[in-house]
Amino acid sequence: MHGFAQNFLCSKHVSYIMTGLCFFCILAPTAVFGALYHSHGHGHLHTHNLESGGSNEEVSVLQQKISEKKEKVAKLEKSIQAYKKKIAAKRLQATSLANQTAILDNRVAEVQLEIEATQQNIDAVALEVRAFELSIEEKQHVLERQKIMIAELLRAIHQNDSKKYIEIATNYNSFSDFYNSLQYLETVESNLGANVQSLRIAKTQLEEKVLEKKNKQELLENFQEEITQKKTDLEERKYAKRVLLEQTQSSERTYNTLLKQLKKQYQDIENEISGIEKEIRGKLQDQDKLDNLKGDNATSLSWPTQSRYITTRYRDPDYPYRHIFEHNAIDIRAAQGTPLKAVASGYVGRARRCSKASCYGYIMLIHSGGLSTVYGHAAKIIVSEDQFVTRGEVIGYSGGMPGTVGAGPFTTGPHLHFEVRKNGIPLNPLTYLIKDY
């Protein structure tokens, strides 16, 4: 530390100190000490404790609250897992209205707990942000204090530096006074070095805290977005149960009839999509039109909507109709009327327009490399079959709100049902969608 101080501040004086003849150093060290005593407010020259300060107590109170919140989250997570197990067990039982209703009840309870857990996470992270703010304030104070002390030391040294030797000599009556001054000076230098070092540490710590606070704020925003979506999940799950009971009039027999109808509707649409896909692709290939698409790499697709919140995953085990067909798509939550964009350049293979709610409206695009994409529950379609569309072009508007045109049966809220197919076979869209558009 001492060596550092010498290098930093006093290299031209080091040799003088060694020989006992430093011009500036022997000058009234009390001036230097005076400055230090003044800035410290107490009688020693130690480096400031970087963690000291009045906000420490507040920070530890916050830390206590944060760990309480985290404990609550851990407990809630356990309860959520219990519901997940119950749901999984119910799914293994025979298909029935009673069973389906029980699953929906559990799904409602599960998402309620998830909302509660997310709220606890929000509270905990908000407290963490506050703790970082206090910590940042404290570090800023430390930094300021260090700067003032160093400035004072340098000023005092500089002032002395300009004095004449004769004045210096007259300041000391004896050799022992002179010698003591030198010793003081070494302490001053040593402390100056320590202060400079502390300044660096405080600056690094401040930067770290600022970065950590920024990360926590981002996390907080994510949790806030999550809770909004989960609250919508809750509404949709409650709604799903209500619709199920209304449509079946709480009768197992009606439920079975509805399932059969749904299965037929699904099969019809599936046949239509795969049939048309094959036919149109053949036609486009004959006309060499698919060669035009080679410039646009369909293996990395842009997102069809602004939203990235997935309500039902590809082959989601929670999909309520899994026992009659798999969910070979992802459902992306999108407000009714959200613009739907072509995920890659291609030709419109099918634009199925509807005029009533029970009809399932959708758009199918044919891309290069055997790929096709399907945009389901479309409320409005603004492209025509055989039309060429470029990546990012708006092709229609989303729907899915129960009772609206193109929504189709059994939807529980506005969303886009999005499929990716290769040679007609559905694949997980998430493996094709680009993370950052």
* Interface residues toward Zn ion, by CB under 5 A: 329, 331, 417
Q: Beta 388-389 vs 380-381: how paired, if at all?
A: unpaired
- Residue 418's closest CA among 375, 361, 359? 375
In this complex, which beta carbon is closest to Zn ion, that of residue 123 or of residue 331? 331
In this complex, which beta carbon is closest to Zn ion, that of residue 150 or of residue 420? 420
Least distance (Å) from Zn ion to the CB of residue 411?
8
Q: Judging by beta carbons within 10 Å of its beta carbon (0-12, 13-18, 19+), is residue 74 exposed, middle or buried?
A: exposed
In this complex, which beta carbon is closest to Zn ion, that of residue 298 or of residue 407? 407
In this complex, which beta carbon is closest to Zn ion, that of residue 206 or of residue 364? 364
Strand, coil or helix: what is 285?
A: helix
Distance CA 37, CA 32 (A): 9
Q: CB nearest Zn ion: which residue?
A: 417
Least distance (Å) from Zn ion to the CB of residue 319?
8
Per residue in 288-314, is it b (16+ CB within 10 Å) or e — as a string? Answer: ebbeebeebebeebebbbebebbbbbb
Least distance (Å) from Zn ion to the CB of residue 406?
14
Least distance (Å) from Zn ion to the CB of residue 404?
16
In this complex, which beta carbon is closest to Zn ion, that of residue 100 or of residue 195? 100
* Close Cβ partners of 48 (under 8 Å, ≥ 6 residues apart): 142, 145, 146, 198
Go through the chain and tell me how many residues it has.
Answer: 437
CB atoms within 10 A of CB 392: 14
Least distance (Å) from Zn ion to the CB of residue 86?
24
Least distance (Å) from Zn ion to the CB of residue 263?
15
Least distance (Å) from Zn ion to the CB of residue 61?
48
DSSP of 200-228, one letter per residue? HHHHHHHHHHHHHHHHHHHHHHHHHHHHH
In this complex, which beta carbon is closest to Zn ion, that of residue 233 or of residue 331? 331
Angle (CA) 424 426 430, round 5°: 135
* Close Cβ partners of 45 (under 8 Å, ≥ 6 residues apart): 33, 36, 187, 188, 191
Judge contact between 367 and 298, C-beta under 8 A.
Answer: yes
| Token pair 């067909």 in the structure block, residue | 325
Least distance (Å) from Zn ion to the CB of residue 72?
34
In this complex, which beta carbon is closest to Zn ion, that of residue 114 or of residue 331? 331
In this complex, which beta carbon is closest to Zn ion, that of residue 192 or of residue 330? 330
